[in-house]
Amino acid sequence: MKAAELKKLKTLLKKTRNIVIVTHWSPDGDAMGSSLGLYNYLALKKHKVTVITPNDYPAFLAWLPGNNKVIDFSVEQEKAKKAVEKAELICTLDFNSMQRIERLGKYILDSAAPKLLIDHHPQPENYASFNLHNTKASSTCELVYELIHLLGDRKRIEKKIASCLYTGIMTDTGSFRFNSTTPRTHRIVAELIEAGAVNHEIHGRIYDTNTEDRMKLLGYCLCEKMKVFPGYHTALISLSSAELERFNYKKGDTEGVVNYALAIEGIRFGAFFVERDGKIKTSFRSKGDFDVNKFARAHFQGGGHRNAAGGMSDIGLEETVTKFEGLLPSYKKELE
């Protein structure tokens, strides 16, 4: 953040303020961890804070401290609009484009309140007065830690804040294994554990609270639905809504499935296609230089990071998979 921006932000936060925090559609661990981490910090500083999500999020995140105060815009529109109307600062976390918050975006952009953008996705839109943006950060949670540090309150990070921030760093780094994990990430995480985040408990709450159905769905994906293209170092998994129903799909059940494609030796490009609400949601992951952010932007109305991106497709599931397979030859060189 520029020094002048930080100074202005500090001045703004000197008084008790009405603050709104918003994060992206289908919030993940980093989205909820960063939003609630910032929520707990600002609440500690006596601000009146409201977290708004565009839609619901998985049950394995519902234990995060402050979770019971979150407003789901898709359920409580009026309440959310009122909070936005009253806001004196709007923090937008873990997304780079207003499209990522869908219908909520209009109300955020219409508000005259200054915006604070905290994000690690490339090419952020230019709407904020305050920008804490770094594509090298492992997660938005890491940047929320940086913000608290910049505001001189590092020593005030307590258990609730630490637990939220630990969660998002853990989930966005694939439990500290992706190349976004730096020595600094580990130092921050060490501080969060010292501040009260119980790392093994958090890991259990996120990863060991599966239903039997979810485990069986994963088994089905790997056994029946994975297609491997060794010549293109690519693997894909696809699921129709009928298949989701067969396994009593609950939100979050397909999270992480795409990563299994990359767990095969030699595979550098993994794709996952799932039919939901009449559309196809796509997820892409890569290892090394292959840029899935560019790929998702070019072909699937999406984006993300170099090694993790997503998008949409308006054609059917089979047609989407066929389209994807048809694209592979033109990327043969890049996938070598």
**Is residue 283 within the footprint of ligand 5GP (CB under 6 A)?**
yes
Q: Is the alpha carbon torsion for 32, 37, 42, 47 positive or negative?
A: positive
**Is residue 118 within the footprint of ligand 5GP (CB under 6 A)?**
no
Q: Which is nearer to ligand 5GP, 41 or 300 (CB)?
A: 300
309, interface contact from ligand 5GP, Mn ion, none, CB < 5-8 Å by kind: ligand 5GP
Tokens of 75: 């359920």
If one counts every other C-beta atom within 10 angstroms of the C-beta of residue 242, the result is: 9
How far lies 167's CA from each of 30, 118, 202, 273, in Å?
Answer: 7, 17, 7, 26
Using CB under 6 A, which residues numbered 212 to 241 contact ligand 5GP?
Answer: none
**Is residue 143 within the footprint of ligand 5GP (CB under 6 A)?**
no
**Is residue 146 within the footprint of Mn ion (CB under 5 A)?**
no
Q: In whole angstroms, how close is the CB of 4 to Mn ion at the nearest point? A: 27
Between CA 69 and CA 160 the distance in angstroms is 14
**Is residue 142 within the footprint of Mn ion (CB under 5 A)?**
no
Stretch that binds ligand 5GP, among 68-76, 140-148, 191-199, 307-315 (CB under 6 A): 307-315
Q: Which is nearer to ligand 5GP, 143 or 195 (CB)?
A: 143
How far lies 306's CA from each of 130, 154, 269, in Å?
Answer: 25, 30, 11
Contacts for 38 with CB less than 8 Å, ≥ 6 apart: 21, 49, 91, 93, 118, 144, 147
**Which of 171, 235, 310, 335 is close enough to bind ligand 5GP by CB under 6 A?**
310
**Which of 23, 303, 320, 335 is close enough to bind ligand 5GP by CB under 6 A?**
303
Q: In whole angstroms, how close is the CB of 139 to Mn ion at the nearest point? A: 5
Phi, psi of 120 (to 5 degrees): -125, 15
**Is residue 168 within the footprint of ligand 5GP (CB under 6 A)?**
no
**Is residue 119 within the footprint of Mn ion (CB under 5 A)?**
no
C-alpha angle 208-214-215 in degrees, rounded to nearest 5:
70
Q: Which is nearer to ligand 5GP, 18 or 182 (CB)?
A: 182
Using CB under 6 A, which residues numbered 91 to 110 contact ligand 5GP?
Answer: 97, 100
Residue 192-211 contact track with ligand 5GP, rule CB under 6 A, x = bound: --------------------
Q: In whole angstroms, how close is the CB of 119 to Mn ion at the nearest point? A: 8
Phi, psi of 200 (to 5 degrees): -70, -35
Between CA 46 and CA 40 the distance in angstroms is 10
Between CA 148 and CA 157 the distance in angstroms is 8
**Is residue 309 within the footprint of ligand 5GP (CB under 6 A)?**
yes
Picking from 287, 286, 210, the residue whose alpha carbon sits closest to that of residue 249 is: 210
Question: Helix or strand or coil: residue 249?
Answer: coil
Q: In whole angstroms, how close is the CB of 158 to Mn ion at the nearest point? A: 23
Contacts for 110 with CB less than 8 Å, ≥ 6 apart: none
Using CB under 5 A, which residues numbered 12 to 51 contact Mn ion?
Answer: 30
Residues near Mn ion (CB under 5 A): 30, 94, 140, 172
Point out which residues bind ligand 5GP (CB under 6 A): 97, 100, 121, 283, 302-305, 308-312
